[in-house]
Structure 1
């Protein structure tokens, strides 16, 4: 069983000790929790209530959440995943796109305002975490702050409609996230997330901690950092006969779709480990090969 997930206080990042804890967690585990993130607890609770209300909409209304890019819209329960459904919002960094998402679902004003404020706050959070990670690897702070502002973001809002018969079953198979990093807002009442120990590969449960956000690093983080950051393998299992809601915000890849490690991360001792690639091409590679747990990234080794 792996040790607990580190909790990083973002307000203390001027402290060398806290910056070192962040760097160690990102390199070794590929995941950590954050506090001091600036997203009020009341707004977190309002967002969960808004999400539950959206999932109570009729099926015909849900399906108006159409794809903007492949896989970015509503996902209905299917024969493969009969207990899972999800909304998608691309690009969550764009206020116009957030408004269009709400309008497509005819969301009432209070819910629209909650989603708008939550998207604004969590976008600021995800950019801040990415910049702190880049700075921890040696990128100049001003360059780190600029790097991620215009990277597209995607919300994936999930509900697992668990039953007594599904306890013990897998809700989402083992995978890595394809993008740079994910800020996950978990269900405080129902757990089920498991992450892989980097030493043994064993999957261990991660209990929710109210008020915090869990950060997972994905495949783009590993490639962009020239192998310094760890793309964490994880899955979801059913642990209780109760609906489970989670809200994931993904920072995907550079706006120009080109993933390449900055020259600052490439040295004579640490040569370039991955070829330059397009993020959309990489997503298609994962889909065509069925390699969703980081294996596809090995195909792009330099």
Structure 2
């Protein structure tokens, strides 16, 4: 496995030409990058992790109350495929009704809800900003991601001594546009695949966030950006937590590349489709690493 460091993008400098170029290159060559100087307070990130740990330590009978809104959006118990992994989920992070439902299901305290609301708004605003800057790097100046729904997933890996050397989560791409990950600052294990097919370790980096591009980013950019394949490896017997926010796709209308991304040298690669239809296609075909995009490719 390679020890290459994935790209770093400084969001305090993102309006500068050089940093915007770094962002575009990261999206094109890696499909992921570390975000430094992202403006989300470190104390809020730390408080959010404490909330996550408390919720995932709840009794199983309470966690099971976290029901799906769309398939796979609620509680995920350890399974045969991912026996060391479990997660809780909130679909549509920006909806106060969805947040209230999530909090009711898990007996969330008022203080925990306050932290979740503050973190959710901050991470949503950052996701929108990243999307806009990704668009601007392609010369698309009027992109609007404000209404794209976000899904929130908090993850726990129960790594035992027997788990060392095993996968915590199998190789996959994310189905949506953009994932912002607050990974565990103490426990590594995340690996991404580079464009030569080698795995690259993504070690913890305190105070930063990781951005992963999903299948929708590849379609939306007309193939210029890549969807990163990634997995979680168990390297030590410990508990690992992470907080993932997925910006999925347009709430209404089709997923398709903007007109500015299509020209004589870059003909349109994919037929327009509804995000939810694509997500269901991935599930029905059991295609977890982006293969379903080939079914939507134009001849």
Q: Do both proteins adopt the same fold according to a TM-score greater than 0.5, normalized to the shorter chain?
A: yes
Cα contact 2:82–2:170 (8 A) shared by 1: no
CA distance in 2, matches of 1:78, 1:266: 42
Distance change in 2, residues 1:175/1:80 (3 Å): closer
CA distance in 2, matches of 1:80, 1:265: 38
> Match of 1:163?
160
Cα contact 1:2–1:197 (8 A) shared by 2: no
CA distance in 1, matches of 2:217, 2:149: 14
> Match of 1:249?
245
> Match of 1:232?
228
> Match of 1:17?
18
> Match of 1:188?
185
Cα contact 2:187–2:240 (8 A) shared by 1: yes
Matching of residue 215 in structure 1 with residue 211 in structure 2: yes
CA distance in 2, matches of 1:42, 1:6: 25
Q: Give 1:157 shift.
A: 0.7
> Match of 2:84?
83
Instruction: Map Cα deviations across residues 90-140 of structure 1 (whole Å, 9 max, x no partner).
Output: 101223322321122111121111111110110011111011001111111
Q: Give 1:287 shift.
A: 1.2
> Match of 2:281?
285
Report the secondary structure of 1:235's partner residue: strand
Instruction: Map Cα deviations across residues 15-55 of structure 1 (whole Å, 9 max, x no partner).
Output: 11111101110111100011221210001000111000001
CA distance in 2, matches of 1:29, 1:44: 25
> Match of 1:32?
33
Q: Give 1:2 shift.
A: 5.9
Cα contact 2:4–2:200 (8 A) shared by 1: no
Aligned pairs, number:
297
CA distance in 2, matches of 1:266, 1:80: 40
CA distance in 2, matches of 1:46, 1:263: 42
CA distance in 2, matches of 1:167, 1:257: 44
Cα contact 1:90–1:154 (8 A) shared by 2: yes
- Residue pairs, 1:78-157, within 5 angstroms: 78-140=79-141, 143-144=142-143, 147-157=144-154
CA distance in 2, matches of 1:36, 1:100: 33
Report the secondary structure of 2:284's partner residue: helix
Instruction: Map Cα deviations across residues 168-194 of structure 1 (whole Å, 9 max, x no partner).
Output: 101111111110010000001111000
- The answer for unaligned runs of 5 or more in structure 1 is none
CA distance in 2, matches of 1:75, 1:133: 31
Report the secondary structure of 2:103's partner residue: helix
Cα contact 1:99–1:116 (8 A) shared by 2: no
TM-score by length of 2: 0.97
> Match of 2:268?
272
Q: Which runs of 4+ in 1 moved over 6 A?
A: none
Cα contact 1:175–1:233 (8 A) shared by 2: yes
> Match of 2:65?
64
Report the secondary structure of 1:220's partner residue: helix
- Alpha-carbon RMSD across the aligned residues, in angstroms, is 1.1
- The answer for unaligned runs of 5 or more in structure 2 is none
Q: Give 1:221 shift.
A: 0.2
